[in-house]
């Protein structure tokens, strides 16, 4: 059985959608509100804990969506950039994101 993963939702505008199309990931974006699309970046429980530790303003919604919320836009932008480079929305892409030290230092409390 596959390990449980948790989503980080990134809203997708036209510019981002074009980049997703180039990477072959456009089909992964789901329609949410009034035509707006969202891409779910998936993280393992260990990655979830690491992200919450590195970015203290983020919260995990354990009661409803089981997702990581309130990450700064700059962080989500970089996560999306890494996902596009890796052509993956899974934990492998987020593992690469976690190797980037500049964000950990910038948002450390």
How confident is the model over 64-97, as pLDDT tens digits?
Answer: 999 999 999 999 999 999 999 999 999 999 999 9
Is there a domain that residue 28 lies in?
A: yes
Cβ burial of 81 (10 Å; 0-12, 13-18, 19+) is middle
Helix (H) or strand (E) holding 11: strand 6-12
Question: Does residue 52 belong to any structural domain of this protein?
Answer: yes
Helix (H) or strand (E) holding 59: strand 59-60
- Structural domain harbouring 28: 6-107
Residue 1 lies in a domain: no
Asked whether residue 60 is domain-assigned, the answer is yes
Q: Among 6, 29, 7, which residue's Cα sits nearest to residue 19?
A: 29
Q: Is the pTM of this model over 0.85?
A: yes
Query: Using one digit for the tens of pLDDT, what is the confidence trace for 14-24?
Result: 999 999 999 99
Residue 30 belongs to some domain of the structure: yes
- For residue 77, is it within any domain? yes
pLDDT band at 105 (very low <50, low <70, confident <90, very high): confident
pLDDT, one tens digit per residue, over 23-58 is 999 999 999 888 889 999 999 999 999 999 999 999
Q: CB-based contacts of 45: which residues, under 8 Å, 6+ apart?
A: 3, 4, 6
Judge whether residue 1 has pLDDT over 60.
no
Total domains, the chain: 1
Residue 86 domain flag? yes
| Residue 90 forms part of a structural domain | yes
Q: Which residues are CB-contacts of 81 (< 8 A; sequence separation ≥ 6)?
A: none
Q: Are 64 and 7 in contact (CB under 8 A)?
A: no
């Amino acid at each position: 059985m596959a390990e449980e993963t948790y989503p980080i939702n990134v809203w997708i505008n036209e510019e981002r959608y074009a980049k997703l199309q180039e990477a072959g990931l456009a089909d992964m974006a789901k329609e949410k509100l009034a035509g707006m699309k969202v891409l779910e970046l998936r993280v393992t429980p260990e990655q979830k804990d690491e992200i919450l530790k590195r970015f203290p303003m983020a919260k995990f919604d354990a009661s409803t969506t089981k997702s990581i919320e309130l990450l700064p836009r700059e962080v989500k932008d970089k996560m999306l950039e890494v996902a596009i480079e890796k052509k993956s929305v899974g934990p492998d892409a987020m593992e690469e994101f976690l190797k980037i030290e500049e964000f950990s230092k910038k948002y450390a409390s």
